[in-house]
Amino acid sequence: MSTPGSQSLFDTDELVINMGPQHPSTHGVLRVVLKLDGERVIDADVVIGYLHRGVEKLCESRDWTQIVLITDRMDYVAAATNNLGYVETVEKMMGIEVPRRARYIRTILSELQRLASHLIWLGTHAADIGALTVFLYCLREREYILDLFEEFCGARLTYNSMRVGGLPGDLPPGWDRKCLELCDIVDQKVPEYETLLTQNRIWLNRTKGIGVITAEQAVALGFSGPPLRASGVLRDIRKDEPYAAYEEFEFDIPVGEAGDTYDRYLVRLEEFRQSTRIIRQAIEGLPEGPIIGKVPRLIKPPAGETYHAIESPKGELGYFIASDGKSLSPYRFRVRPPSLCNLQVLPTLVRGHLVADVVALIGTIDIVLGEVDR
Amino acid sequence: MVDLIVVPLLKIVVLIVAVLTAVAYMVLLERKVQAWVQVRLGPMRVGPHGVLQPVADVLKLLIKEDITPSRVDRWVFTLAPIIVLVCAFWVFAVIPVGPTVELFGREVSLQLTDLNVGLLYVVSIASLGIYGTILAGWSSNSKYPLLGSLRASAQLVSYEVAVTMTLVTIILLTGSLSFNRIVEVQRDMGVWFAFLQPVAFFIYFVGGLAETNRAPFDLPEAEQELVAGFHTEYSGIRFALFFLAEYTNMIVVSAVAVTVFFGGWLAPFPNVGWLSWLGYIPGWMWFVIKVFGVLYAFLWVRATFPRYRYDQLMRLGWKVLIPLAIANVIVTAAVKVWWLS
């Protein structure tokens, strides 16, 4: 293989190769146009928008309760956190006090969602690198989480699981016990995945030193979530600007050092443990009380604009909502999707790596195209 | 007359049918084993526990539309899968499936021909197959297949060296290139070469995985990166030929491994009294059992490991396996010269 820029006897041409939008490992309809020198990537052009449904504009013509349903469709593997971000933003605008029990349950749901989302991430990431077995194991555990969600709100993917001011319903009887069982399962299974990957020489070769992003770069490029923490930046909205009931629980924020694919993997694996830790505390300390606060019959936030962000499994999920105080729908609805902001780092990540690393790097930033395109 | 034409022809027919059946069931076995590893059931619909799945697969591939893209090099495009498959089949000519047996009052050796340079023949025919892969990628006139076939050729060439080196150690031990002789030497020495030459066997196994494009070395057809590698543009029965060739090659590699490292048709533990009943199982059955044992290891590896990256694969081949294989040859030769003689 020739190195870029070296003078050789043979003329070499750049090869432009098109990955996607129909490609098995671009996690949906992402299109990446790669400029290759041999197998080395010189440049990458990320083309998005194939799944654009105009969510933001759509929300501006729906009333405030209907929007919860639309937020499900953005990050469809983590619908509950999407719901949470939206309803909290509206609550913030209207100054609604959410009962403690509802906040606890919201925390539990969003941590379950983090587990489910991370399981999908681990599975697809490993499958991209060729470890197909891990993928099926991960989906098996995710099924248990979906079962819990189904029992709580009746849906397995798009939950519509939050309401402005609280929750649509209380936990079904026995749910908390099942939830604890799930924590045990996850705590037992995650080390099992680790035996397949963490010390595996091939896995180390494929992930160590791949796609290194320094802390400064990560901040400058707008990274958030586990990828940012893997670069060594201690930033987690759950700790920094607590929402739901996070300030009442003890948990650690795993931080990486190298900022490579392996560290991003380790950080997310540690988040599995921290999530089950939070869920356990929340179930143990689950207070009694109402599950919905005092909400006016007609939800109509006062005129003004608000930005509120939560830590979704993929990073900082922010909602900027402006209300004119008169109409029944938002005046302006804007989402800061973690997937999109993380995805813009991809060209920087892949430059100089090999084609095979591109799929590993798409996997490591954990994107969902529903959220990128909205 | 009978010995010259009828018997070889019959053998060829039996061999081809046997190999094709083995390939068909190898595909089923692969899906089943992977499914079991991955807590799934695998094919269950066609026949009880999916035993007729291979039949359904073959029928499906036969009646599928065979598309030749308009910009391909038509001749080469057609020729490529044939080259790959034919080379895979040729190798079986020298593999001894069992000892000489009596059939219908006639001495029949369960081997098409006992070539005295069998080992050399296998190595050379196996490397001819790569032409098919390269030509397939080249004639497809498309980027993914081209990258896939480039990877394949580089990979095959590098691992061939290491694999051939391990076979050299076997030649040193037996003093013969004939497969029959290799098995006989293992019988006489009372030990299978896998235990006498563990390093050689390890290198052979890893190299075999790489040469058949199996995980973790399945780069030429890395689904996640290159869609389907060199056979992206192929469909229908021509795709099936590649598929067939890949699995035939796996069986070839296992068959050679069994012959060279696991005593071919020999029954295990010939000297252990209470296990002597193992000797009553016919030799060809032992051969089949052992081949499927090695194939099972292939599947096991596939279900367990992630995939290597192209440059890492090359590094492993050239910087680890080949030096190791050469060192192994030197040590074996030294032991043979100074110790055994």
Superfamily of domain A15-373 in the CATH hierarchy: Cytochrome-c3 Hydrogenase, chain B (1.10.645.10)
Tell if the CB–CB gap between B307 and A130 is shorter than 8 Å: yes
User: What is d(CA A301, CA A319) in angstroms, rounded to the nearest whole number?
Assistant: 15
Which residues 195-214 of A are in CB contact (within 8 Å) with B?
Answer: 196-197, 200, 202-203, 205-206
Q: What pLDDT does residue A191 have?
A: 85
Q: What pLDDT does residue B61 have?
A: 83
User: What is d(CA B132, CA B149) in angstroms, rounded to the nearest whole number?
Assistant: 9
Give the pLDDT confidence of A67-96 residue by residue, as tens digits: 888 888 888 888 888 888 899 898 888 888
Q: What pLDDT does residue B220 have?
A: 62
Q: What pLDDT does residue A2 have?
A: 45
Global pTM?
A: 0.80
The minimum CA-CA distance between A317 and chain B, rounded to whole Å, is: 29
Query: For chain B, first and last CA: distance in Å?
Result: 45
Q: Is the pLDDT of residue A7 over 70?
A: no
Q: Is the pLDDT of residue A251 over 60?
A: yes
User: What is d(CA A79, CA A365) in angstroms, rounded to the nearest whole number?
Assistant: 18
The band of A1, judged by pLDDT with boundaries at 50, 70 and 90, is: very low
- What the block records as the tokens of A207 is 């992930």
Query: What is the rounded average pLDDT of the residues A252-279?
Result: 88
A41 touches chain B (CB under 8 A): no
Residue from the list B40, B219, B226 with its beta carbon closest to the beta carbon of A136: B40
For A12-58, the three-class secondary structure string (H helix, E strand, C coil) is CCCEEEEECCCCCCCCCCCEEEEEEECCEEEEEEEECCCCCCCHHHH
Q: Is the pLDDT of residue A224 over 70?
A: yes
The minimum CA-CA distance between A246 and chain B, rounded to whole Å, is: 36
Q: What pLDDT does residue B128 have?
A: 85
The minimum CA-CA distance between B41 and chain A, rounded to whole Å, is: 12
Residues (pLDDT < 50) of chain B are none
Q: Under a CB-based contact definition with an 8 Å cutoff, are residues B156 and B162 in contact?
A: no
Q: Is the pLDDT of residue A8 over 60?
A: no
Give the pLDDT confidence of A310-354 residue by residue, as tens digits: 988 888 888 998 988 888 888 888 888 888 888 888 888 888 888
Give the pLDDT confidence of B278-318 residue by residue, as tens digits: 777 787 888 888 888 888 888 888 888 888 877 788 888 88
A359 touches chain B (CB under 8 A): yes
A107 alpha-carbon distance from chain centroid = 15
Between chain A and chain B, how many beta carbons pairs sit less than 8 Å apart?
Answer: 83
Any idea how long chain A is? Answer: 374
Residue from the list B224, B304, B305 with its beta carbon closest to the beta carbon of A359: B224
Interface residues of chain B, partner chain A, Cβ below 8 Å: 34, 37-40, 143-144, 147, 215-216, 218-219, 222-227, 303-312
Vertex A71: Cα angle to A273 and A313 (nearest 5):
20
The minimum CA-CA distance between B167 and chain A, rounded to whole Å, is: 26
Burial grade of B277 (CB within 10 A; 0-12, 13-18, 19 or more)? exposed
Query: What is the rounded average pLDDT of the residues A174-203?
Result: 86
Among the residues of chain B, which ranges form H helices? 7-37, 53-63, 74-90, 118-139, 143-174, 179-189, 193-196, 198-211, 223-226, 236-261, 283-304, 310-315, 322-334
CB < 8 Å to B37, chain A: 133
Domain ranges of chain B: 19-63, 67-340
Tell if the CB–CB gap between A354 and B218 is shorter than 8 Å: no
Which residues 119-158 of A are in CB contact (within 8 Å) with B?
Answer: 126-133, 136-137, 140
